[in-house]
């Protein structure tokens, strides 16, 4: 035994020296099992989608509508959205640092909130308005409620409503399409949005095709149903969202406006299509109401959520003081999410275990 | 419509080893046989350090009524009986360490059984039960429930036999190879069960990513009116008993119901082979096929190895490692247990040994539920894992109970799909354990 050991000791340095001089290409280095292995609970695999990739995909899906907004309203539209996104990002960083929470700006949720808020502002919005809205969305609506996953209300929508209540004139200063604002809103030509016409009992001047493509006045992101639907379809195909909320939301509005038209002398379906395409219904249905955090996680819950929001939109548009009801409808339904989820708890496969 | 169930998810298979034939691994110099290899409390050693023992000799048993013995997988000398913490049972157990003398001297009981020249067509029910008990046959799919108890408890009730060849977990290809390489033994095991229990109808359920194996079995059972081979959609967790029964018969089985009361008994494909080996050849369960794979293994293989073969030897037989693994997993990646050291031998329940490199953790954020509802959408039991995780984290176990935490299969689909990377299953397990301790099952 001892002799053997000696032999091994003697041989080793030689072998090492040899490999140093001429490393053999065929021999792969022997890797030993590490002393420290990671022990985690199962499962040991994860789906590739993470919070970050989902947020980035939603941002990607919003880009066509944003580019269209920039095309019809001018570069200023892009600037407003950039200010919102940037200040949301910063606000998230500052708030999380100030509150001593882990900084999670890399999840890109603040960027998405900022982009959505920007697309919900008119292109004429001053920079300070965009910044105030962003800070309100992130600090008050999101972080004060506990941060991502804990906020009750959709931050972008709550900020939009806050700005509308605080500075209504800035928030309704819509420009006509193709105003092509550069950096100053001074030369804006004010226009009434299709919703305002509808509120006053008349069809808007724009044709249905113009409404569908987005040749109308409105906020940066809401005008083009076509590009929003393109983005929404992408989200559906990528299984980021399910069909339940958009279909029940838009479907309820369509059904109610078809059943109870408010403008005489036109076909029911024509009035219905104007109502569906006007205002923020499409962007709301695909991008705001489907916000994970503030919508139910159950199938039936999502359908109730969508139908409830649709009902509220029509009520507000018909009987309320405001021409638009999308923001309010979603915020009201946001506050009911917990109850809806509890009421729509799925039935356990094969029936729940009985009490032992 | 392919036979399946609602919920669940398709996971990338990584089943490249399905094309590789089973390789027999020479018995290692030292085996490390755990005495906690079947469901229930660990066994007690019936041998002492220094004892000379033979291949197939019983080395662990207990007087618990559902106990199932463990046998030596080599002949040689017991060098030690070590206490160790079992990662699967999460309890202290003993392991018998045996120095292999390389002779494989068979135990008297094996010689006696082989001398008898049993005619498997003539075995009575009681004989089958006692053979399986003394051969230590347990479910080889991972649940390791003793086969003889399953038969005993279902006698007279079960009329339909399901052979579970779904093998829905990624990476594992043990049943796939068993179907391709030992179809006669598999069907021989099936016939033994049919005769012993008076089974009227047999369904062999195979996921459609193993259509080649299903074709082999279908060809061999042609003309048998009582045996059908069914193709199931490849989806995880198709191999769960509730999901497989639903896929085949559209009956929803509650977690609390016993399969026997519904007329079903389920065996896994590899278990049928083990049942045949025990009855026809008199060999106790001393070896099994294990898929050694993962991105860190140089030559992934299906290995027929002795029970107790140390993990390091198994990896060595497969060419060693190409990169340092982050985790070594006993079982599949969805329900398997991560091992903390390699001081662990092959067990009856180990269908796969995975060496996986870690994910890139650079961009990893703190776990956070964003209520996306994917877990609710994909849960095969239709629970609300998002609520269970939240309530479990808050240690509000009574509310977890109201949300039916005890119906959870722990299949891991919720954690798998979670974009916020919440360890949902872990919160569920904690809640279940706390409720179990409080007597709420």
Could you give phi then psi for residue A245, rounded to 5 degrees?
-70, -55
CATH of the domain at B86: 3.40.50.11540
Instruction: Count structural domains, chain A.
Output: 1
Nearest chain B alpha carbon to A101: B366
Residue A5 lies in a domain: no
Residue in B242, B375, B403 nearest the CB of A350: B242
| Residue-range definition of the domain harbouring residue A104 | 51-343
Provide the pLDDT for residue A8. 38
- Say whether pLDDT at A39 is over 50: yes
Distance CA A111, CA A155 (A): 12
Mutate to test the interface with A, among B168, B328, B365 (most CBs of A within 10 A): B365
Q: Do A348 and B329 touch (CB under 8 A)?
A: no
Nearest CA in chain A to B331: A42
The confidence score (pLDDT) of residue B439 equals 86
Whether residue A40 is contained in a domain is answered as: no
Among B9, B312, B369, select the one facing A149 at the smallest CB separation: B369
CA distances (Å), A44 to each of A162, B333, B426, in order? 44, 5, 12
Confidence category of residue A14, pLDDT binned at 50, 70, 90: very low
Q: Contacts of residue A341 in chain B, CB cutoff 8 Å?
A: 384, 387
The reply to whether B417 falls in a domain is yes
Q: Are B83 and B232 in the same domain?
A: yes
Residues B300 and B431 in one domain: no
Distance CA A55, CA A88 (A): 14
Among the partner residues A242, A293, A350, nearest to B253 by beta-carbon distance = A350
Best A27, A31, A41, A355 member to test B by mutation, with max B CBs in 10 Å, is A41
Handedness of CA B393, B395, B397, B399 (dihedral sign): negative
CATH number at residue A274: 1.10.3430
Q: Does B262 lie in the same domain as B407? A: no
Kindly list the residues from chain B whose CB atom is less than 8 angstroms away from the CB atom of residue A44. 327, 329, 333-334, 336, 338, 354, 356
Of A38, A50, A353, the CB nearest to B406: A353
pLDDT at A177: 82
Residues B200 and B267 in one domain: yes
**Residue A353 confidence (pLDDT):** 63
pLDDT of A269 > 50? The answer is yes
Whether B225 is in a domain gets the answer yes
> Which chain B residues contact residue A290 at CB under 8 A?
none
Q: Is residue B247 one of the residues assigned to a domain?
A: yes
For the cut 70, the answer to whether the pLDDT of residue A354 exceeds it is: no
3-state secondary structure of A31: strand
CA distance A309 to chain B (A): 19
Nearest-CA residue of chain A relative to B313? A33
Contact B404 A353 (CB under 8 A): yes
Statement to judge: residues B313 and B251 lie in one domain: no
Q: Do A148 and B368 touch (CB under 8 A)?
A: yes
Q: Is residue B10 part of a domain?
A: no
CATH classification at residue B334? 3.10.20.600
Residue B38 neighbours by CB distance under 10 Å: 26
Q: Give CA–CA dist B339/A38, Å, rounded.
A: 8
The ipTM (two decimal places) reads 0.88
Q: Is the pLDDT of residue A224 over 80?
A: yes
pLDDT digits (tens, 9 = 90+) for B197-222: 999 999 999 999 999 999 999 999 99
To the nearest whole angstrom, how far is the Cα of A351 from the nearest Cα of chain B? Answer: 5
Q: How many Å lie between the alpha carbon of A35 and the closest alpha carbon of chain B?
A: 7
Q: Is the pLDDT of residue A7 over 80?
A: no
Q: Which pLDDT tens digit goes with each residue over B139-184?
A: 998 788 999 999 999 998 999 999 999 999 999 999 999 999 999 9
The three-state (H, E, C) secondary structure of chain B, written as one string: CCECCCCCECCCCCCHHHHCCEEECCCCCEEEEECCCCCCCCCEECCCCCCEECECCEEEECCCCCCCCEECCCCEEEEEEEEEEECCCCEEEEEEEEEECCCCCECHHHHHHHHHCCCHHHCCHHHHHHHHHHCCCECCCCCCCEHHHHHHHHCCCCCEEEEEECCCCCCCCHHHHHHHHCHHHHHHHHHHHHHHHCCCEEEEEEEHHHHHHHHHHHHHCCCCCCEEEEEECCCECCCCHHHHHHHHHCCCCCCCCCHHHHCEEEEEHHHHHHHHHHHHHCCCCCEEEEEEECCCECCCEEEEEECCCEHHHHHHHCCCECCCCCEEEECCCCCCEEECCCCCECCCCCCEEEEECCCCCCCCCCCCCCCCCHHHHHCCCCCCHHHHHHHHHCCCHHHHHHCCHHHCCCCCHHHHHCCCCCCHHHHHHHHHHHHHHCCCC
Per-residue model confidence (pLDDT) at position B110: 87
Question: B376 and A148 in contact by Cβ < 8 A?
Answer: no
Q: What is the pLDDT of residue A6?
A: 39
State which residue of chain B sits closest to A151, comparing Cα positions.
B370
In a domain, B67, yes or no: yes
Q: Which domain holds residue B399?
A: 374-437
* Same-domain status, B243 and B319: no
- Asked if pLDDT for residue A253 goes beyond 80, the answer is yes
* Contacts with B370 from chain A: Cβ below 8 Å: 51, 109, 148-149, 292-293
pLDDT of residue A40 exceeding 90: no
Q: Over the stretch A82-125, which tens digit does the pLDDT of each residue have?
A: 999 999 999 999 999 999 999 999 999 999 999 999 999 999 99
Q: Taking residues A215-236, report their average pLDDT.
A: 94
pLDDT computed for residue A192 by the predictor: 76
Contact B425 A49 (CB under 8 A): no
pLDDT along chain B (441 residues), means of 10: 87 92 95 90 92 93 89 94 89 93 89 82 89 92 88 91 93 95 94 93 94 94 92 92 92 86 93 93 91 94 95 93 91 92 90 86 80 95 95 94 92 94 94 91 71
The pTM assigned to this predicted structure is: 0.89
Count of CB contacts below 8 A, A vs B? 185
Q: Which of B312, B363, B416 is opposite residue A33, by nearest beta carbon?
A: B312
For chain B, what is the domain count?
3
How do beta strands B160-165 and B264-268 pair? Answer: parallel
Burial of B20 (0-12, 13-18, 19+ CB in 10 A): middle
Region A8-30: what's the mean pLDDT?
A: 44
**Among candidate residues B356, B383, B406, the one where a domain is terminated:** B356
Of A37, A47, A102, Cβ closest to residue B417: A47
Asked whether residue B292 is assigned to any structural domain, the reply reads yes
Backbone angles phi, psi at B356, to 5 degrees: -115, 140
Both B270 and B296 in a single domain? no
Residue labelled with tokens 């494989």:
B104
DSSP secondary-structure letter at A105?
A: G
Residue B429 with chain A: CB contacts under 8 Å: 41
Task: Say yes or no for a CB contact (<8 Å) between A31 and B170.
Answer: no
Q: Which of B416, B1, B413 is nearest to B239 (CA)?
A: B413
Question: In the prediction, which pLDDT does B40 show?
Answer: 83
- Is residue A250 a part of any domain in this protein? yes
**Chain B residues with beta carbon closer than 8 angstroms to that of A107:** 365, 368
Q: Are residues B253 and B124 in the same domain?
A: yes
Q: Do B365 and A356 touch (CB under 8 A)?
A: no
Q: Single out the residue in B281, B311, B335 at which a domain terminates.
A: B281
One domain for residues B61 and B107 = yes
CA atoms within 13 A on the CB side of B204: 31
Note if the bond before A210 is cis, omega within 30 degrees. no
**Residue A288 in domain:** yes
| Contact (CB, 8 A) for B173 and B18 | yes
> How much is the average pLDDT of A203-218?
89
Distance from CA of A350 to the nearest CA of B (A): 4
Quick check: is B100 in a domain? yes
Contact between chains at B170 and A106 (C-beta distance less than 8 A): no
Q: Give the mean pLDDT of A183-197.
A: 72
Indicate which of A29, A44, A236, A347 best probes the interface with B, i.e. most B CBs within 10 Å of its own CB.
A44
- Answer yes or no: is B369 within a domain: no
- Pair B100, B46 in one domain: yes
Is A22 a domain residue? no
- A50 closest CB neighbour out of B11, B324, B419: B419
Of A229, A231, A227, nearest in space to A240 by CA? A231
Q: What percent of chain A is modeled with pLDDT above 70?
A: 88
Do B218 and B193 share a domain, yes or no? Answer: yes
Q: Is the peptide bond before B246 cis (omega within 30 degrees of 0)?
A: no
Could you tell me the pLDDT band of residue A185, with boundaries at 50, 70 and 90? low
Check pLDDT > 50 for residue A254.
yes
Of B313, B266, B299, B46, whose CA–CA distance to B145 is shortest?
A: B266
Average pLDDT, chain A: 87
Residues B136 and B38 in one domain: yes
A128 found inside a domain: yes
Question: What is the C-alpha to C-alpha distance for residues B41 and B93, in angstroms, rounded to an integer?
Answer: 9
- Provide the pLDDT for residue A23: 44
């Amino acid at each position: 035994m001892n002799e053997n050991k000696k032999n091994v000791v003697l041989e080793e340095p030689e072998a090492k020296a040899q490999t140093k001089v001429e490393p053999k290409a065929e021999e792969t280095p022997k890797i030993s099992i590490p002393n420290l292995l990671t022990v985690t609970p199962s499962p040991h695999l994860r789906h590739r989608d993470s919070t970050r990739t989902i947020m980035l995909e939603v941002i990607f899906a919003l880009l066509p509508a944003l580019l269209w907004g920039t095309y019809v309203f001018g570069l200023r539209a892009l600037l407003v959205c950039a200010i919102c996104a940037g200040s949301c990002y910063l606000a998230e960083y500052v708030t999380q640092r100030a509150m001593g929470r882990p900084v999670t700006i890399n999840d890109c949720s603040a960027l998405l909130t900022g982009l959505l808020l920007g697309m919900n502002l008119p292109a004429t919005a001053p920079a300070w308005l965009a910044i105030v809205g962003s800070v309100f969305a992130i600090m008050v609506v999101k972080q004060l409620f506990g941060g991502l996953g804990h906020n009750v209300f959709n931050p972008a929508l709550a900020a939009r409503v806050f700005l509308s209540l605080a500075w209504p004139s800035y928030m309704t200063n819509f420009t006509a399409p193709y105003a092509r604002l550069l950096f100053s809103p001074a030369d804006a030509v004010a226009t009434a949005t299709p919703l305002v016409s509808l509120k006053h009992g008349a069809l808007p001047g724009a044709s249905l095709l113009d409404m569908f493509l987005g040749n109308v006045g409105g906020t940066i992101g809401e005008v083009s149903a076509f590009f929003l639907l393109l983005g929404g379809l992408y989200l559906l195909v990528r299984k980021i969202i399910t069909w339940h909320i958009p279909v029940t939301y838009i479907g309820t509005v369509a059904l109610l406006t078809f059943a109870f038209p408010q403008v005489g002398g036109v076909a029911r379906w024509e009035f219905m299509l104007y109502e569906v395409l006007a205002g923020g219904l499409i962007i709301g249905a695909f991008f705001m109401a489907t916000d994970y955090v503030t919508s139910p996680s159950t199938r039936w819950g999502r359908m109730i959520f969508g139908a409830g929001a649709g009902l509220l939109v029509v009520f507000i548009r018909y009987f309320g003081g405001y021409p638009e009801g999308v923001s309010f409808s979603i915020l009201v339904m946001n506050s009911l999410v917990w109850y809806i989820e509890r009421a729509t708890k799925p039935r356990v496969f094969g029936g729940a275990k009985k009490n032992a | 419509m392919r036979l399946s169930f609602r919920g669940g998810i398709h996971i990338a298979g990584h089943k490249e080893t399905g094309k590789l034939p089973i390789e027999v691994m020479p018995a290692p110099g030292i085996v490390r046989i755990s005495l906690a290899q079947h469901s229930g409390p660990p066994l007690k050693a019936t041998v002492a350090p220094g004892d000379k023992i033979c291949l197939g000799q019983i080395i662990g048993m207990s007087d618990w009524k559902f106990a199932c013995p463990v046998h030596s997988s080599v002949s040689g000398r017991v060098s030690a009986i070590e206490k160790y913490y079992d990662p699967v049972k999460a309890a202290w157990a003993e392991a018998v360490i045996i120095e292999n003398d390389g002779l494989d001297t068979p135990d008297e009981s094996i010689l006696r059984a082989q001398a008898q020249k049993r005619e498997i067509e003539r075995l009575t029910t009681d004989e089958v039960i006692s053979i399986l008990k003394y051969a230590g046959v347990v479910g080889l799919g991972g649940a390791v429930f003793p086969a003889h108890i399953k038969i005993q408890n279902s006698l007279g009730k079960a009329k339909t036999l399901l052979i579970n060849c779904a093998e829905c977990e990624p990476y594992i290809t043990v049943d796939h190879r068993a179907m391709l390489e030992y179809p006669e033994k598999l069907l021989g095991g099936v016939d033994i069960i049919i005769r012993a229990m008076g089974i009227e109808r047999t369904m062999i359920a195979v996921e459609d990513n193993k259509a080649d194996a299903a074709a082999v079995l279908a060809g061999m059972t042609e003309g048998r009116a009582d045996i059908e081979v069914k193709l199931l959609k490849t989806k995880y967790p198709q191999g769960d008993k509730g999901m497989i029964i639903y896929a085949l018969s559209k009956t929803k089985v509650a977690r609390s119901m016993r399969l026997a009361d519904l007329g079903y008994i389920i065996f896994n494909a590899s278990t049928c082979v083990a049942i045949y080996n025990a009855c026809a050849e008199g060999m106790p369960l001393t070896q099994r096929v294990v898929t050694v794979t993962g991105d860190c293994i140089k030559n992934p293989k299906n290995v027929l190895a002795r029970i107790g073969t140390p993990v390091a030897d198994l990896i060595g037989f497969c060419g060693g490692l190409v990169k340092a693994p982050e985790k070594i997993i006993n079982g599949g990646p969805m329900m398997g247990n991560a091992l903390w050291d390699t001081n662990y031998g092959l067990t009856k329940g180990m269908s796969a040994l995975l060496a996986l490199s870690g994910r890139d953790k650079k961009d990893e954020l703190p776990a956070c539920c964003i209520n996306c509802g994917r877990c609710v959408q994909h849960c095969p039991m239709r629970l609300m894992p998002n609520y269970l995780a939240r309530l479990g984290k808050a240690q509000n176990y009574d509310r977890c109970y109201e949300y039916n935490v005890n119906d959870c299969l722990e299949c891991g689909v919720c954690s798998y799909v979670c974009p916020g990377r919440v360890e949902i299953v872990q919160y569920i397990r904690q809640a279940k354990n706390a409720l179990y301790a409080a007597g709420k099952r």
